[in-house]
């Protein structure tokens, strides 16, 4: 049973006119065969590179995250389903040992003087198929061979010696299915990034995340984002996210999006900070190349609520820190944090007291937890102290007999003002002699 079935806090972001650890954790999702869990946590870049090659896209993404200062204390790496793996014997070297390790079991062959890459691959295929691991190996041509899961979706790990290469992993299942499987196994993370830059996959990920209290950031090097106006561009991911008014997806234009994960750098900058205490604008991202954009290109991207990374006044900064619908990233994160912590406060009161009586005194206990969380929101910088927030709770005498019988306390309302952030300053002055 989710916590919301007992304590249901709904907060509307009315901004047009005007696990604690989970909020600091980014999840990077990629197809790989390094572990069978759906998700594992790593506390440093060295810990990541002990499992994944330093040149892998996974390690490059986490390097962008851990390269910031301060940096998050951990990162989550999620596994997409991969049923098929293609391996290639790089070269035939007499006396060399060739090993494929599946679920921790080694399958090896030693090359003889007359062996070729094909005979070495044949020997490995035969050894694997004589084993009991849940895969079937199939010969290919030119030293290439495949591993296929005997039962679709059954995970298995693969490691190889340096004289064997693995083709880039290709995910078997849809991204939404993989994300749901990860969520069901471990949901203690907040920021989402994915390895895949394919637009169809990114769009599917936006559909998944919009139904949850998560934040998805992605990057694109699509030239249409910066070279076409907002009225002309109908095909880019930035245009898609803006047109569909997506509230939980932010797009960053980055010319090097194919090789750099700028979104992980931004997560690295903001997730270690308390929600409400920062803006996603003005962030300088260590290890990330800055884009050189004309004024027109910057205007085109920003008009689509697409974020950019450029040099202004000699400083590399992120702009503007928005999601597709135009709301600011920091507002999305802060409201999610406020809701989660408020629900947890009230739930803690309900479970740790012998009971909260259905009296005006009991209602006051709940009201006190709401006020305490709003006060923390002010202390964090997310809510304004002036005007003061208001909390309205019903008198027990005015609550219906049915709600009392069902032990349901409803009709609690609060109103608070977001503190926001200053992103631009206009000054008019006069000086005289």
Residues 202 and 74 occupy one common structural domain: yes
Read off the pLDDT of each residue in 256-285 and give the average, rounded to a whole number.
96
pLDDT, one tens digit per residue, over 144-182 is: 999 999 999 999 999 999 999 998 899 999 999 999 999
Report pLDDT for 421. Answer: 85
| Residue 251 near residue 302, CB atoms below 8 Å | no
User: Is 18 a residue whose pLDDT tops 50?
Assistant: no
Nearest Cα neighbor of 62 from 83, 79, 41, 81 is: 41
Buried b (16+ CB within 10 A) or exposed e, 181-193: bbbeebeebbbbb
CA distances from 141 to 98, 145, 184, 186, 232 (A): 17, 7, 40, 41, 47
Residue 181 counted as domain residue: yes
Residue 358 counted as domain residue: yes
Establish how many alpha carbons lie within 13 A of residue 67's alpha carbon, considering only the half-sphere containing its beta carbon: 19
Residues 131 and 209 occupy one common structural domain: no
Residue 428 counted as domain residue: no
Residue 101 counted as domain residue: yes
Residues 219 and 139 occupy one common structural domain: no
Tell me the pLDDT band of 14, cut-offs 50, 70 and 90.
very low
The backbone torsions φ and ψ at residue 305, rounded to the nearest 5 degrees and listed phi first, read 60, 30
Residues 68 and 212 occupy one common structural domain: yes
Residue 2 counted as domain residue: no
Last residue of a domain, one of 137, 166, 195: 166
Tell me the pLDDT band of 4, cut-offs 50, 70 and 90.
low
pLDDT, one tens digit per residue, over 188-211 is: 999 999 999 999 999 999 999 999
Last residue of a domain, one of 166, 189, 211: 166
Last residue of a domain, one of 145, 166, 187: 166
pLDDT, one tens digit per residue, over 326-337 is: 999 999 999 999
Token couple for 279: 């803006």
Report pLDDT for 405. Answer: 94
Tell me the pLDDT band of 424, cut-offs 50, 70 and 90.
confident
* Residue bearing tokens 């047109």: 243
| Residue 279 near residue 328, CB atoms below 8 Å | yes
Report pLDDT for 10. Answer: 64
pLDDT, one tens digit per residue, over 273-287 is: 999 999 999 999 999
Token couple for 342: 């408020």
Residue 356 counted as domain residue: yes
Domain count for the chain, please give it: 3
d(CA 370, CA 415) in angstroms, rounded, equals 11
What is the rounded average pLDDT for all residues in the chain?
93
Residues 308 and 349 occupy one common structural domain: no
Decide the pairing of beta strands 191-194 and 215-220: parallel
User: Is 7 a residue whose pLDDT tops 90?
Assistant: no
Residues 91 and 133 occupy one common structural domain: yes
Q: Which residues pair with 80 in a beta bridge?
A: 31
Residues 150 and 268 occupy one common structural domain: no
Residues 217 and 359 occupy one common structural domain: no
What is the domain range of residue 392? 343-415
Read off the pLDDT of each residue in 239-254 and give the average, rounded to a whole number.
98
Residues 45 and 136 occupy one common structural domain: no
Give pTM, 2 decimals: 0.90
pLDDT, one tens digit per residue, over 79-107 is: 999 999 999 999 999 999 999 999 999 99
Residue 11 counted as domain residue: no
Residue 424 counted as domain residue: no
Report pLDDT for 321. Answer: 97
**pLDDT-above-90 percentage for the chain:** 87
d(CA 105, CA 419) in angstroms, rounded, equals 57
Residues 214 and 279 occupy one common structural domain: yes
Other beta carbons within 10 angstroms of residue 404's beta carbon come to: 12
Residues 295 and 203 occupy one common structural domain: yes
Element (H, E) at 122: helix 117-130
**pLDDT-above-70 percentage for the chain:** 96
| Residue 169 near residue 160, CB atoms below 8 Å | no
Residues 273 and 237 occupy one common structural domain: yes
Question: How does DSSP assign 167-207, residue by residue?
Answer: PPP---S-HHHHHHHHHHH-----EEEES---HHHHHHHHH
């Amino acid at each position: 049973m989710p916590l919301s079935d007992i304590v249901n806090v709904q907060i509307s972001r009315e901004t047009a006119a005007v696990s604690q650890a989970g909020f600091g954790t980014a999840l990077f999702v990629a197809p790989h065969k390094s572990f069978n869990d759906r998700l594992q946590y790593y506390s440093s870049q060295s810990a990541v590179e002990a499992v994944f090659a330093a040149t892998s896209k996974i390690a490059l993404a986490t390097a962008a995250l851990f390269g910031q200062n301060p940096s998050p204390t951990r990162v989550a790496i999620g596994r997409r389903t991969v049923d098929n793996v293609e391996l290639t014997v790089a070269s035939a070297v007499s006396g060399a040992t060739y090993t494929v390790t599946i679920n921790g079991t080694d399958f090896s062959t030693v090359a003889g003087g007359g062996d070729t890459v094909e005979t070495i691959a044949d020997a490995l295929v035969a050894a694997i198929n004589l084993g009991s691991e849940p895969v079937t190996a199939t010969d290919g041509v030119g030293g290439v061979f495949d591993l296929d899961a005997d039962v679709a979706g059954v995970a298995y790990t693969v490691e190889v010696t340096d004289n064997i290469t693995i083709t880039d992993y290709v995910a078997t299942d849809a991204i939404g299915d993989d994300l749901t499987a990860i969520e069901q196994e471990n949901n203690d993370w907040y920021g989402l990034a994915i390895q895949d830059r394919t637009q169809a996959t990114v769009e599917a990920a936006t559909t998944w995340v919009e139904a949850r209290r998560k934040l998805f950031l992605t990057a694109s090097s699509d030239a249409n984002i910066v070279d076409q106006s907002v009225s002309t561009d109908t095909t880019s991911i930035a245009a898609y996210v803006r047109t569909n008014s997506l509230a939980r997806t932010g797009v960053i234009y980055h010319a090097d999006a194919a090789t750099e994960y700028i979104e992980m750098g931004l997560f690295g900058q903001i997730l270690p900070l308390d929600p409400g205490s920062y803006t996603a604008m003005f962030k300088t991202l260590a290890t990330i190349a800055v884009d050189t954009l004309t004024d027109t290109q910057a205007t085109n991207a920003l008009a689509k609520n697409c974020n950019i990374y450029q040099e202004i006044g000699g400083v590399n900064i992120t702009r503007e820190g928005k999601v597709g619908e135009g709301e600011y990233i920091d507002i999305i994160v802060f409201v999610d944090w406020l809701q989660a912590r408020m629900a947890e406060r009230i739930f803690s009161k309900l479970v740790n007291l012998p009971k909260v009586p259905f009296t005006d005194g009991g209602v006051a206990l709940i009201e006190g937890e709401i006020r305490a969380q709003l006060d923390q929101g002010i202390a964090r910088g997310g809510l304004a102290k002036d005007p003061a927030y208001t909390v309205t709770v019903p008198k027990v005498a005015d609550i219906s007999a049915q709600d009392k019988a069902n032990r349901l306390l409803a009709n609690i309302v609060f109103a608070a003002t977001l503190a926001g952030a200053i992103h631009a300053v206009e000054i008019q002055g006069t000086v005289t002699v």
